[in-house]
Amino acid sequence: MKNYVQVGFTAQRTITGEFLPPIPVFVVADELKSSGLAECEEKPLHEISGLLFEKYKEKLKKEQIK
């Protein structure tokens, strides 16, 4: 069974330059990790989670000082 991961959207234009409805773009993922995510999804998710966690800790520290 192949696993597909959505990586974005594309849209064609009409002759007048207006956008047609968006079309999702998928790539085939070789295998899924135990988290249910493909490697190309898991790494960015962990990176952004770490950044958001650090920002949240900073916010909590500032609120405790007040």
Task: Give the separation between CA 32 and CA 38, rounded to whole angstroms.
Answer: 5
Domain total of the chain = 1
Local structure of residue 37 (DSSP, 8 states) = -
Q: How far is CA 47 from the centre of its chain?
A: 11
**pLDDT one-digit tens code per residue, 4-62:** 888 899 999 999 999 999 999 998 877 777 777 777 788 888 899 999 999 999 999 88
Whether the full predicted model's pTM is greater than 0.75, yes or no, is no
Q: Which domain holds residue 34?
A: 3-65
Tokens standing for residue 45: 């998710």
Which residue's structure tokens are 């190309």? Answer: 40
Strand partners, 32: 38
For 5, counting Cβ atoms within 10 Å of its Cβ (0-12 exposed, 13-18 middle, 19+ buried), the class is middle
